[in-house]
């Protein structure tokens, strides 16, 4: 809300899940007029219990994924612009899990620092 940009991505988590619960999520007021979700891209998902049981980390998933104009118009520097909604459903597989949902693979501060330290440790670089 109340931002001039950077409203296309998302990263959030859900905890205290119940197995076989189907939940619908909607991200409102995104800015891009089109999305790769309309071309078949799926949401990135990380389930702590799924990772522990099947040794699979971030993976694409979700059902009934859609990206569409939502009827909201926001005033900007170049006039009014249409806002968009991205929605998807997800069925949780485990009770009491923690599940993360993201637009793209998270790049953590720790990963950044590891890469910078490797560059600084390399005498050629």
Higher pLDDT, 57 or 107: 57
Confidence (pLDDT) at 5: 59
What residue numbers bound the domain in which 102 lies?
11-121
Confidence (pLDDT) at 49: 97
Residue 1 lies in a domain: no
Confidence (pLDDT) at 93: 96
Question: Is this model's pTM higher than 0.85 or not?
Answer: no
Residue 68 lies in a domain: yes
Q: Is 43 exposed, middle or buried (0-12, 13-18, 19+ CB in 10 A)?
A: buried
pLDDT at 3 over 70: no
Domains contained in the chain, number: 1
Please say whether the beta carbons of 31 and 81 come within 8 A.
yes
Residue 4 lies in a domain: no
Residues 56-100: pLDDT tens digits?
999 999 999 999 999 888 877 678 888 899 999 999 999 999 999
């Amino acid at each position: 809300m109340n931002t001039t940009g950077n409203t296309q991505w998302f990263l959030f988590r859900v905890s205290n899940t119940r197995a076989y619960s189907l939940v619908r999520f909607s991200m409102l007021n995104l800015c891009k007029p089109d999305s790769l979700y309309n071309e078949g891209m799926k949401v990135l998902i990380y389930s702590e219990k799924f990772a522990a049981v099947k040794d699979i980390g971030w993976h694409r998933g979700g059902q009934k994924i859609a990206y569409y104009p939502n009827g909201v118009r926001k005033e900007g520097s170049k006039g009014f612009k249409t806002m968009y909604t991205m929605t998807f459903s997800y069925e949780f597989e485990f009770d009491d899990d923690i599940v993360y949902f993201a637009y793209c693979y998270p790049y953590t501060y720790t990963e950044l620092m590891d890469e910078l330290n490797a560059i600084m440790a390399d005498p050629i670089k």
